[in-house]
Chain A
């Protein structure tokens, strides 16, 4: 007898970031940076070199921590980079490089990257497919879901900006409000605490900083578990499984 299995189809928030309708505000950084496919190929090759072997200036190879395709390492709480919007990734590398976002390893690495390398790396990771997410054995706490989909007082529901399931809203919106689904819970917690303690730039118009400051410790833990358990993958299609 043949078993029914689940094959996950990969159509992703990250992919939407490239293909979406034009952003409301003209933002040059959202347009594909490579005007020709040759330029794009050169960027991808430059990035791949750094990802696997590090940069001549001494930046460590990204792959040790983030994986060759930016899949991240859940157990070590290294975030996935695959499929995150290019402008978002660039911004983060610049923030690390300027020591505005806290994290000693990433600061040391980003400090050694020049502008062309940053753009190439952001292009490279934004074009990868995010990793599938294992659903957790125990469902995330109800408090996390309540905050994510309803919000509390002056804290809007997280999905308002980060999109349904935390998968982003596409286009210029995802560039400003990144997808957060499926990131390691410990990583998400660390970000929310960083905003609480003023250790990470507050994001567009100070929006995320203002929200982070109002979260309680219990809410940080619960909402991080909630988004860590949300699939990055969009559709699950039932199909015939191979033996």
Chain B
């Protein structure tokens, strides 16, 4: 249980106690009962993790509510197209919340919906669901937080609420958040991560990490650089990146990497520059002390002689219309 963070400890616990993917969860290992029971003895009244599956897309109602649910889905799948004013890179929500926010162990929206309001150590207060959405715009999307009650947030809330149909409120759902992997025995290592990246990731994400555009449209997302998530984003934390990668990458074959490999490749990715943390305090050192002091941060650390945190691109919004860098392929024309 040492890997438990103060932040959303319930999810952490579940991720450790159970398993990585849905399929593996179906035959939940015998051993998983023990840590759960032990923990609930130590911490009173912890709900038991329950399995949950969101309704199929075909069940979105054909009424005024359904229209907004579909808007939320569309925004989730292609954020730069549907919320350009709040988006500062070429990413979409679906890039980090797979199957358009439906997939367990990639922080699915149905599990998120029933987990808020919740205290977050990141900003040291109780966050509403809306505030949590705003956070991913500001950091993961390197954009601007849509104002409270704006159509973009209402659509995302409707989509998440609909997906959580029938889920217990404040319950603990299996597959919530990203899995938390135990701290690796061998630490993490740039060279090992680089070798893994070249072998398992570079074909899709590019040797330079800048992803792929097809006919000018984002296809494989950039993992660092000006069009990726910024230094304030959750994915820039090694534990979150490692958990996501372990469960979901290489795409379509999650849980094929070992834990150690997931940590190493996460470290490699998060040892590259990305847009500055929008909470920047005027110096890397001050920003590091205030926001990046945890054990899983690379911001403000020196890797291969480079002090990370200089920032690349524009924090909080180079607009997507600016030439998005990245390899392009135009399969439709020669």
Per the bound structure, the CA–CA distance linking A211 and B208 in Å amounts to 27
The answer, yes or no, to whether A47 is at the interface (CB within 8 Å) is no
Select A154's contact among B21, B327, B328, B329, beta carbons within 8 Å: B21
Per the bound structure, the CA–CA distance linking A152 and B99 in Å amounts to 6
Q: Are A153 and B334 in contact (CB under 8 A)?
A: no
Select B329's contact among A11, A12, A21, A161, beta carbons within 8 Å: A21
Per the bound structure, the CA–CA distance linking A210 and B21 in Å amounts to 13
The answer, yes or no, to whether B202 is at the interface (CB within 8 Å) is yes
**B99 neighbours in A (Cβ, 8 Å):** 151-154
Select A25's contact among B98, B100, B198, B252, beta carbons within 8 Å: B198
**B332 neighbours in A (Cβ, 8 Å):** 11, 164, 167, 234-235
Select A11's contact among B22, B23, B100, B334, beta carbons within 8 Å: B334
Q: Give a binary string over B245-268; 1 marks a CB under 8 Å from any A CB, 0 the rest.
A: 000101111101000000000000
The answer, yes or no, to whether B50 is at the interface (CB within 8 Å) is no
Select B22's contact among A21, A24, A153, beta carbons within 8 Å: A153
Total A residues in contact with B, Cβ cutoff 8 Å: 39
Q: Give a binary string over A35-74; 1 marks a CB under 8 Å from any B CB, 0 the rest.
A: 0000000000000000000000000000000000000000
Q: Are A205 and B331 in contact (CB under 8 A)?
A: no
**B100 neighbours in A (Cβ, 8 Å):** 150
B24 CB to nearest A CB, Å:
11
Q: Are B21 and A173 in contact (CB under 8 A)?
A: no
Q: Are B214 and A163 in contact (CB under 8 A)?
A: yes
Q: Are B252 and A161 in contact (CB under 8 A)?
A: yes
Q: Are B331 and A210 in contact (CB under 8 A)?
A: no
**B215 neighbours in A (Cβ, 8 Å):** 164
Q: Are B327 and A205 in contact (CB under 8 A)?
A: no
The answer, yes or no, to whether A97 is at the interface (CB within 8 Å) is no
A-B contact count (CB 8 A): 96
Q: Are B207 and A154 in contact (CB under 8 A)?
A: no
The answer, yes or no, to whether B156 is at the interface (CB within 8 Å) is no
Select A15's contact among B204, B329, B334, beta carbons within 8 Å: B334
**B84 neighbours in A (Cβ, 8 Å):** none
Residue of A nearest to B332 (CB): A234
A232 CB to nearest B CB, Å:
12
Q: Are A207 and B329 in contact (CB under 8 A)?
A: no
Select A24's contact among B21, B327, B334, beta carbons within 8 Å: B327
Select B203's contact among A21, A152, A173, A234, beta carbons within 8 Å: A173
Q: Are A156 and B214 in contact (CB under 8 A)?
A: no
Q: Give a binary string over A152-189; 1 marks a CB under 8 Å from any B CB, 0 the rest.
A: 11111000110110011111111010000000000000
Per the bound structure, the CA–CA distance linking A167 and B330 in Å amounts to 11
Per the bound structure, the CA–CA distance linking A120 and B332 in Å amounts to 27
The answer, yes or no, to whether A20 is at the interface (CB within 8 Å) is yes
Per the bound structure, the CA–CA distance linking A163 and B214 in Å amounts to 9
Q: Are A169 and B329 in contact (CB under 8 A)?
A: yes
The answer, yes or no, to whether B333 is at the interface (CB within 8 Å) is yes
**A168 neighbours in B (Cβ, 8 Å):** 331
Per the bound structure, the CA–CA distance linking A12 and B251 in Å amounts to 26
Q: Give a binary string over B159-176; 1 marks a CB under 8 Å from any A CB, 0 the rest.
A: 000000000000000000
B247 CB to nearest A CB, Å:
9
Per the bound structure, the CA–CA distance linking A185 and B99 in Å amounts to 26
Q: Given the known inter-chain contacts A15-B334, A156-B251, please indicate yes or no for A170 contacting B207, CB distance below 8 A.
A: no
The answer, yes or no, to whether B103 is at the interface (CB within 8 Å) is yes
Select A155's contact among B57, B212, B248, B252, beta carbons within 8 Å: B252
From B23, B100, B102, B204, name the one whose CB has the most chain A CB atoms within 10 angstroms: B204
**A211 neighbours in B (Cβ, 8 Å):** 252-253
From A12, A24, A160, A167, name the one whose CB has the most chain B CB atoms within 10 angstroms: A24
Per the bound structure, the CA–CA distance linking A171 and B203 in Å amounts to 10
B80 CB to nearest A CB, Å:
17
Q: Are A205 and B329 in contact (CB under 8 A)?
A: no
Q: Are B198 and A163 in contact (CB under 8 A)?
A: no
| Chain B contact residues, CB within 8 Å of chain A | 21-23, 57, 98-100, 102-103, 198, 200, 202-204, 206-208, 212, 214-215, 219, 248, 250-254, 256, 327-334
Closest 7 CB pairs between A and B? A210-B253, A24-B207, A170-B329, A156-B252, A163-B331, A11-B334, A24-B206
| Chain A contact residues, CB within 8 Å of chain B | 11-13, 15-16, 19-21, 24-25, 150-156, 160-161, 163-164, 167-174, 176, 204-207, 210-211, 214, 234-235
Name 12 extra pairs, CB < 8 A, besides A161-B251, A205-B250, A234-B332: A24-B202, A153-B103, A154-B21, A154-B252, A155-B252, A167-B331, A169-B219, A170-B329, A170-B331, A173-B204, A205-B253, A206-B253
A-B contact pairs, 27 of them (CB 8 A): A11-B334, A15-B334, A16-B330, A16-B331, A24-B202, A24-B206, A24-B207, A25-B207, A151-B99, A152-B99, A153-B99, A153-B102, A154-B99, A154-B103, A154-B248, A155-B252, A156-B251, A161-B251, A163-B214, A168-B331, A169-B212, A169-B214, A205-B253, A210-B252, A210-B256, A211-B252, A235-B333
